[in-house]
Structure 1
Amino acid sequence: MTKQERKTIATSNAPGAIGPYSQAVQFGNMIITSGQLGMNAAGEFPDSVSEQAKQSLTNVKAILEAADYAMEHVVKTTVFLKDMGDFQTVNEVYATFFAEPYPARSAVEVAKLPKGGLVEIEVIAVK
């Protein structure tokens, strides 16, 4: 893969990277986002896991839209949860962002997320 084939996707409508990575990378007709925490572009977290899940997916949507993609282009998601007990709550929010046919998905509980987040979501989209 050469640098010419790869394009960095960035938007101010989602939090900027907090390390040496991109919000997303486009390669051909595929976009891979970095994990999006449930914080707004100003770096503020809502209190509840449902609001953080909503913000995380809102961030994903903003990044995709910056590349002229939409949520219906998402084919795979990975959901990282601080507490697997929040799975159903996150599912309820998740279902408001996706329609059938749903993307493939993995969900895992992790010991800790950056900045004390409760949920982080990354996606792969293909157009």
Structure 2
Amino acid sequence: MENAKIVRKNPAGMYNPVGNYTHITKIPRNAEWYVASGQIGADQNGEIPDSMNEQIENTFNNIQTVLHAEELTAEHIIKVNIWATQKIDWDYLYAKWEELFGSNYPAMTIGYLSELGLPEIKIEIEIWAARV
């Protein structure tokens, strides 16, 4: 399985993704899996800012910290779940998304909820990763 790699694709005959994601991410056998808890917008001191965009920035910083702790990169991320309690500024989130992924997008799900684990949390992003 020397040439095994994570493959991302959009099937023929299906609509183009409506955002920056891929419809299918294929993980080869014997890949090492990493499932991270949802990351929130807390800073390094555990403070959660009121601004949604500041929470988005902190959340992406926290995702980078999780990745670095396991010597992973965005290339290893296969699935992203985004949960938010208020409308997301997609221009801002996608700017952070592009910094992390470039144009090599993982699978993604987005959901709007009435609340998350604490009332001040406005966004939570969960990542799944695999290393071949």
Same fold (TM over 0.5): yes
Distance apart, 1:125 and its partner CA: 0.9
Distance 2:50 2:98 in 1: 20
Instruction: State the number of aligned residues.
Output: 101
Q: Given the alignment of the two structures, is residue 67 of structure 1 paired with residue 48 of structure 2, yes or no? A: no
Structure 1 stretches (4+) deviating beyond 4 angstroms?
Answer: none
Distance 1:50 1:93 in 2: 10
> Highest CA radius of gyration, 1 or 2?
2
* 49, 54, 60: which one aligns with 1:51: 54
SS of the aligned residue for 2:80 comes to strand
Q: Given the alignment of the two structures, is residue 42 of structure 1 paired with residue 45 of structure 2, yes or no? A: yes
| RMSD across aligned positions (CA) | 1.9
Structure (1/2) with the larger helix percentage: 1
CA contact (8 A) 1:38 1:119 kept: yes
Counterpart for residue 110 of structure 1:
113
CA contact (8 A) 1:72 1:99 kept: no
| CA distance 1:85–1:63, change in 2 (3 Å) | closer
Counterpart for residue 93 of structure 1:
96
Letter in 1 for 2:45: A
SS of the aligned residue for 2:101 comes to coil
Q: Given the alignment of the two structures, is residue 29 of structure 1 paired with residue 32 of structure 2, yes or no? A: yes
Where relative contact order (Cα < 8 A, 6+ residues apart) is larger, the structure is: 2
Distance 2:100 2:71 in 1: 17
Counterpart for residue 12 of structure 2:
none
Percent identical pairs in the alignment equals 27
Query: Deviations along 1:13-41, whole A, 9 cap, x unmatched?
Result: xxxxxxxxxxxxxxx61111100111113
Q: Given the alignment of the two structures, is residue 121 of structure 1 paired with residue 125 of structure 2, yes or no? A: yes
Letter in 1 for 2:114: A
Normalized against structure 1, the TM-score is what? 0.70
